[in-house]
Structure 1
Amino acid sequence: MTGQAANGAWPSASPPAAERLLHWQLSGVAELPAMRAQVRRAMGPSIDPDALDQLILALDEMASNALRHGGGGRVEASVRSTDTGYLIEVSDAAAARPPMPAVDRDPSEGGLGLYLIARMALRHGWYASARAKHVWALLPRS
């Protein structure tokens, strides 16, 4: 797949500089519908509809992965703006565990969201801070 390291992990890289547009602190997947609705309300009038759908899909996938597999604790998610696109960044408590797309799994069992995001993204990656893993994807404006 495009942009992936040979072992299936996302590349270790820092995201581009970007201006914060939206930010959430999440504690459970039940909060994801409200997050998606807020993105539609806040960004819908000013963004290409297809780009908006991709942005919401990637944000939802990354946030749900962090909530389900991120080691518990607080998950933070944000949408930022760059000159070329929209930067999605999600952090969780699993600082030592890189994002790993599913390998050798039947597509009907799920786990293919990271592949999809990597294909949609201009760039993607992850990095660790002292207490968190940060996973990011830069999606095009249109």
Structure 2
Amino acid sequence: MGSLRTSPPPPRATELQRWALGSGAELRGLRASLHEALTGHALRAGEQLDDIPERVVLVATELATNALQHGLPPTTVRLLCADDVFILDVADHDLSTVPELADTRPLGAGGRGLQLARAFSLDVGWYATSHAKHIWASFPREATHDG
């Protein structure tokens, strides 16, 4: 199994929005709210996401699902902004485990959230505070607003 780089996100990051999740039933609301935070408008039924928001929403859903299934609630999802990047920070309260890349699992066995984060983002890392374990991913800010 591979491991992620241990480092906090860029220090100049400012929080744009925060979500607290207690169960998988709240993931749909997270996706809709996160899309609105990234683009400034609600996602209408059948509307396709632009490339960057789609990647952020997909990675947020995967990392939050992992945290809900394997961590200790509540799961906190934060959208941060620093210079020319968006940063997604997902935290749970299980300090006894270290995030690992599930590169040896067969497809469909789950645990691919970190691989998706690495494939779709600019950078991925993790860090722990005294209360929570955080996994973060950064994304370019371009192509998120039409004007």
Range into which the TM-score falls when normalised by the shorter chain: 0.7 to 0.9
Tell me the CA shift for residue 113 of structure 1: 2.1
Which structure 2 segments of 5+ residues have no match? 42-48, 143-147
Tell me the CA shift for residue 39 of structure 1: 1.6
CA RMSD of aligned residues (A): 1.7
Tell me the CA shift for residue 19 of structure 1: 1.5
Q: Is 1:12 matched up with 2:6?
A: yes
Q: Which portions of structure 1, spanning 4 or more consecutive aligned residues, are displaced by more than 3 angstroms?
A: none
| Letter matched to residue 53 of structure 1 | E
Where 1:31 maps in the other structure, the secondary structure is helix
Bigger proportion of residues as helix: 1
- Name 2:25's counterpart in structure 1: 30
Give the conservation status (yes or no) of the 8 Å contact 2:121–2:137. yes
Give the conservation status (yes or no) of the 8 Å contact 1:21–1:80. yes
Where 1:57 maps in the other structure, the secondary structure is helix
Q: TM-score, normalised by structure 2?
A: 0.83
- Name 2:44's counterpart in structure 1: none
What CA distance in whole angstroms lies between the structure 1 residues aligned with 2:89 and 2:52?
17
- Name 1:130's counterpart in structure 2: 130
Residue among 9, 16, 22 paired with 1:21: 16
Structure 1 range deviating more: 21-30 or 100-109: 100-109
Tell me the CA shift for residue 57 of structure 1: 0.5
Q: Equivalent residues in 2 for 1:92-107 (5 A)?
A: 92-107=92-107
Per the alignment, do residues 102 and 18 of structure 1 end up closer, same or farther by CA in structure 2, a change over 3 Å counting?
A: same
Structure 1 range deviating more: 114-123 or 59-68: 114-123
Give the conservation status (yes or no) of the 8 Å contact 1:96–1:133. no
Number of matched pairs: 134
- 1:80-129: per-residue Cα shift (whole Å, max 9, x none)? 11112110001111123121121321112232221121122222111111
Q: Percent of pairs identical after alignment?
A: 34
